[in-house]
Amino acid sequence: MKPFDSVTGLSLPDHKNRLFLWSFIIVLSLISAAYFVSNAFFAKEYKQRLARWGLIHTMPNSKSNTCKRHHRPFESETLPEGIIARTSNLEMRPLWDSGKDNRISKPKCPLNLLAMAVGVKQKEIVNKIVEKFLSSDFVVMLFHYDGFVDGWKSLAWNNRAIHVSVINQTKWWFAKRFLHPDIIAEYNYIFLWDEDLLVDNFDPKRYLSIVNEEGLEISQPALDPTKSEVHHPLTVHRAGSKVHRRYYKFKGSGRCDDNSTAPPCTGWVEMMAPVFSKKSWQCVWHLIQNDLIHAWGLDRKLGYCAQGDRMTNVGVVDSEYIVHLGLPTLGGSNGNEAPADSHGYNARAKVRMQSYIEMQIFGKRWKDAAKKDKCWIDPYEQLANRTSH
């Protein structure tokens, strides 16, 4: 009879059976140990192969699984977080004594940016603009579409400006390539201006004070109607007014009244002297098409980047106004004009035609994008529908 355990109530195996059981357990333990050792070896070898194949970054380790990686810039997961420099700026750095030039405990002034496409033929006009902006703590970036960078060396502020030179390109071409939001993240406002503007009645600091007070994310200074080339009535200076946001027209086609919700009646600025807040520019930069360098049609859609209602956040500043000379500089008649071709068309006529073609292309792209994006809702279409009812 087998021994009986009074505690557990189970029959105990005899001596031979116990020896067999212990032998079985030992063999099983050895097999298990060998299995885990071999698995570790092959896993290491497999990982090394993946590393050689360039695939190792797709296999997160246990440490990365416990860390927050979702805020990392794209493709920076292999870097320690403290070394990542997310943004840049246009500040020029010294070649030596960098420690001495970083003045201790000097408060950093909020900076703004003036970016202009310029040609040396308008040197005198541009000089007056730049002098005003530099005295108001602006960074100045000049896009030289004629290539004559050396022609500006005689000006006192030349070495303080950032110069970029590419032949026969528009300011929108330059802006798309050199004003990425991550590059100009430190600047509160971006003035993307033409070169043919007179600023006798304009002060940058007062202008920004009004823009901040009025909550304008996208704006422009009004145009002096007696001296400017005016294309759109909304931009005309109103005497005695500080800011206006809409235009009224009660007769003829294209009427504008208090019920109007779309450009050019309201929520609109022209393209010769727009001013963008930092947040609005982060949106506008993505709206600029890389290959449509004249940006015709873009003005009608800027309101979508107004960080809210375009009828409130987009406006024209009257108390600080400018003169728009309307010089046909790029491909125009003041030194940049190419000879006429066999059909008698000069460069300026070709520029106008290309601008119109690009406007049609941009309009079609917008319609196609709006149709294909099933998750996007046009807020202004809904507003127009409610207003019409």
327: nearest Cα among 116, 150, 114, 121 = 121
pLDDT value, residue 105: 47
Rounded Cα gap, residues 389 and 214, in angstroms: 30
As a whole number of Å, the CA-based R_g of the chain is 33
pLDDT value, residue 364: 97
pLDDT value, residue 347: 77
State the pLDDT confidence band at 110, using cuts at 50, 70 and 90: low
Please state whether beta strands 275-277 and 187-193 pair in parallel, antiparallel, or not at all (unpaired): antiparallel
Residue 319, Ramachandran bin (φ over 0: left; ψ between -120 and 50: alpha; else beta): alpha
Average confidence (pLDDT) over 54-70 = 51
pLDDT value, residue 378: 93
Reported pTM: 0.78
CA pseudo-torsion sign 67, 71, 73, 74: positive
Average confidence (pLDDT) over 155-161 = 97
pLDDT tens string 200-257: 999 999 999 999 999 999 999 999 999 999 999 999 999 999 999 999 999 888 899 9
Rounded Cα gap, residues 195 and 125, in angstroms: 7
Given the structure tokens 């005016």, which residue do they identify?
230
| DSSP code per residue over 63-114 | HHHHS--TTSPTT-TTS-GGG-----------SS-HHHHS-TTPPPPPEEEE
Q: Is 192 helix (H, G, I), strand (E, B) or coil?
A: strand
pLDDT value, residue 57: 44
State the pLDDT confidence band at 328, using cuts at 50, 70 and 90: confident
- Go through the chain and tell me how many residues it has: 389
Average confidence (pLDDT) over 298-314 = 96
pLDDT value, residue 246: 96
Rounded Cα gap, residues 12 and 18, in angstroms: 9
pLDDT value, residue 379: 87
Given the structure tokens 């003036």, which residue do they identify?
114
Q: How many CB atoms lie within 10 A of CB 8?
A: 8
pLDDT value, residue 334: 45
Q: Which stretches of 190-336 are DSSP H helices?
A: 204-214, 278-287, 310-313
Domain map (residue ranges) of the chain: 111-339+346-371
User: Quick check: 355 and 330 in contact, CB under 8 A?
Assistant: no
pLDDT value, residue 75: 80
Amino acid identity at 358: E
CA pseudo-torsion sign 375, 381, 386, 389: negative
User: Quick check: 202 and 318 in contact, CB under 8 A?
Assistant: no
Residue 254, Ramachandran bin (φ over 0: left; ψ between -120 and 50: alpha; else beta): left
CATH, range 111-339+346-371 = 3.90.550
Q: Higher-confidence residue: 3 or 308? A: 308
Provide the percentage of residues in the chain whose pLDDT is more than 90. 61
